[in-house]
Amino acid sequence: MALIQLSSESKISLVEQIVEQLKKLVDKGSLRAGTKAASIRLFARQHMVSVHTVAEAYERLVAQGYFESRPRSGFFIRRPHTLHEKRNPTEKFAKAFDHLWQLRSHLTNEDGFLNVTSGKLPSEWMDTDMIKASLKSVAAKIDSGLLQYGDPYGYLPLRVLLQSRLSDLGIHSQLDQMLLTTGASQAVDLIIRYLLRQGDKVMVDDPGYFNLFSNLQMQGIEPLPVRRNHDGPDLDMVEKLAQQHRPSVMFTQSVLQTPTGSTISAGNAHRLLRLSEQYDFRIVENDTYADMLSEPMPRIATLDQLSRVFYVGSFSKTLSVSARVGFVAAPANAIRDMANMKMITSITSSQLAEKFVFHALTEGLYRRSAERLRARLSTSMIETCEMLRPLGFQLFCQPLGGKFVWVRHPNFESSSDIWKLAAEAGIVIAPGKVFRNSMQETPWFRLNVCYGTEPVLVKFLKSIC
């Protein structure tokens, strides 16, 4: 193993250097499967590192499938990982087309495509200093309580803090009206379980959030699509559907709606709430992009004060996608029953993640990080729109912030034609139909402005216009 070069001055630990270099040698075939690796002591002597360092590296290689440990015989090289057979990218995508396609495409990007539809922020945009500082604060204050099950309602200090944050939006709540969840997805799932039964009908934004459609379908709930306008749901359509079908719930995003980036106007928020009272349906207001909004706007829950509205939020979009901490604020009796459902389905949420979010919020790190993120997103939004308009693209609306623009080009009747061309260029542009309940074709598609000025994307868009 003379091909290994280690450096004590590298920012990468010696263990990681050994692991990564040996993996590369195995992948390239320089170390052949079945041959015996140097013993731990021999490797340590040859490279002047400790036996403990080499032992830890070898164990990691075994865990990752590159080495095999044979009792009393030592370590042996395993067969290198085989790459997936290359296929036409459009064939691969077509086989997976359903509402979960978009989620799969940015959770498992095996082909290394540039995903410009993804909801993720670029890794270099994430505030790693804030994350490290918050984790350090949690680690410094670990006690026996952190080793036990947490409160089914969630970490109490964080719930108290959320009360204050909601109060800043004009939403006044009590502690028994707040439930912490494993991300906004669990919050919505618990609401569905609590409010709905198989065969019920609900109203949803069209276009809207693909994961909601999948959840409703899984639980036998019939969605009634409501056309989304630049200033919120089409309220004439809401009234017509409410008269005809008597749905029990409407799911909507009032602020920075995905995928359109639109925000409900104050007048439409008032009228929607009046309709919910007149036709007796609840409103589930998903506000997961709240901290990306660059200016104050009313929420439906502000007008309703958690009487008919179930208000959902999350920190996954701005703090870290790995910090799966969300919450729902709702009537106290509903929160009590949903807490029971939460215990049945998942015992409790992660107190460790909740403490991490609490420290990020209380030590001033999150506020400053969110301000920087909003400024950066605002710049990207302007630059992306300035790039799109001269090429003939039409914007659904001018978002007030956030990550997304909903666009179309008059040369294309269906955005499915665009995703096929994009896939051949190594780019993922999800067709707009994945954001519609029945997967109806549409010329519209979503772009994440974080990637809006990537040279490869700009070149591609110019080539098709």
Q: Give residue for tokens 């200033």.
A: 231
Torsion, Cα 396 258 384 122, to 10 degrees, reads -170
Q: Residues 2-33: pLDDT tens digits?
A: 678 898 888 788 999 999 999 989 888 888 88
Alpha helices in 363-410 (DSSP H): 365-388
Between CA 284 and CA 43 the distance in angstroms is 60
C-alpha distances in angstroms, 243 versus 248, 281, 307?
A: 12, 11, 22
Asked if 35 contacts 76 with a C-beta cutoff of 8 angstroms, the reply is yes
Between CA 150 and CA 3 the distance in angstroms is 50
Between CA 150 and CA 227 the distance in angstroms is 41
pTM over 0.85: no
| Main-chain dihedrals φ then ψ at residue 137, nearest 5 degrees | -65, -40
Q: Residues 195-214: pLDDT tens digits?
A: 999 999 999 999 999 899 98
Q: Residues 161-189: pLDDT tens digits?
A: 999 999 999 999 999 999 999 999 999 99
What is the predicted pLDDT for the residue at 134?
84
Q: Provide the token pair at 180.
A: 């912490």
Cα R_g (the chain), whole angstroms: 25
132 CB contacts (<8 Å, ≥6 apart)? none
Between CA 378 and CA 355 the distance in angstroms is 30
Q: Residues 406-450: pLDDT tens digits?
A: 999 999 999 999 999 998 999 999 899 999 998 899 999 999 999
Alpha helices in 96-168 (DSSP H): 101-107, 128-140, 156-168
Beta strand 309-314 with 282-286 is parallel
Between CA 378 and CA 384 the distance in angstroms is 10
- Domains of the chain, earliest start first: 14-77 (1.10.10.10), 89-126+367-464 (3.90.1150.10), 128-365 (3.40.640.10)
Between CA 387 and CA 416 the distance in angstroms is 22
Between CA 117 and CA 125 the distance in angstroms is 17
Tally DSSP H helices, then E strands, for the chain.
17, 15
CA pseudo-torsion sign 146, 152, 156, 162: positive
Tens of each residue's pLDDT in the chain, 465 residues: 567 889 888 878 899 999 999 998 988 888 888 899 999 999 999 999 999 999 999 988 988 889 999 988 899 998 765 544 444 544 444 444 466 665 666 556 556 789 999 888 888 888 888 888 888 888 887 765 666 778 999 999 999 999 999 999 999 999 999 999 999 999 999 999 999 999 999 999 999 998 999 899 999 999 999 999 999 999 999 999 999 999 999 999 999 999 999 999 999 999 999 999 999 999 999 999 999 997 888 899 999 999 999 999 998 888 877 778 999 999 999 999 999 999 999 999 998 899 999 988 888 888 889 999 999 999 999 999 999 999 999 999 999 999 999 999 999 999 999 999 998 999 999 899 999 998 899 999 999 999 999 999 999 999 998
Asked if 107 contacts 120 with a C-beta cutoff of 8 angstroms, the reply is no
